[in-house]
Structure 1
């Protein structure tokens, strides 16, 4: 592509930290800025991500939810200024990139199994090892209590 177009797109992209790691099958909550006259408000749309397509500035994802028995789908551009936040509610276990087959399923057949996935950002943060600290405290306390027990037995 033209270098001017690439430079313009790069200036409009959201930072990578603003976009969570989500895949098709994940349940996401998208907060969209709605303009009504002079007022603006945020509206949440929660559902299952059934597709992700494109790259760069043109990347979009499709979210599907069923409300009162009626299926609704919305396509959101990831880098749109109207999309305020994207939150991952739960991670789903699927084996397809496009989940269009969910459109024909109803009720329990349309459920997606949940998995426990650790995000790369959470894995990078070192966790405190509380068990190791308590072990150190127990070993330092053990020699002091050992002579008292021996004296009580005599």
Structure 2
């Protein structure tokens, strides 16, 4: 990519958006309705992450009254006010589409061990810090 485009894109990247597929997250989105703005909270499992830079998106899935609801959220959206990671899951796939057909216990993700999650998070944070200094 052109160096000028990289520099411009760098201004819009949010540094604290390091969550992965399988995490159970709570996102706070700013919604404009009429002349008012409000915060809408959407909580669910991250089943897909794709794209890079400012084009990166995640798909979050939750069950609402027995019906599966999915929301595609751009990670670096200015209206995305906060992302809370509720718990980490140990998954072996990059895309968790199999959760769409799963019901009950089958739709539950196995929780990751605390030490593995912590070490991977610190490694990701160190990698991001190194990339931002370059």
TM tier, smaller: 0.7 to 0.9
Question: What is the TM-score normalised by the length of structure 2?
Answer: 0.82
Structure 1 counterpart of 2:13: 13
Q: The residue matched to 2:11 in structure 1 has which SS?
A: helix
Q: Distance in 2 between matches of 1:102 and 1:87?
A: 21
Structure with higher helix content? 1
**Runs of 5+ in structure 1 lacking a partner?**
125-154
Q: What does 1:108-119 align with in structure 2 at a 5 Å threshold?
A: 108-115=105-112, 116=114, 117-118=117-118, 119=121
Residue 25 of structure 1: how far off its partner (Å)? 0.8
Q: How many residues in Structure 1 have an aligned counterpart in Structure 2?
A: 120
Q: The residue matched to 1:35 in structure 2 has which SS?
A: strand
- The higher-RCO structure (CA 8 Å, 6+ apart) is 2
Bigger-Rg structure (1/2):
1
CA-atom RMSD in angstroms:
1.8
Residue 7 of structure 1: how far off its partner (Å)? 2.5
Kindly provide the CA deviation profile for residues 34-89 of structure 1, in whole angstroms up to 9, marking residues without a partner as x.
11111111111000000111111111111000110110001111100011111100
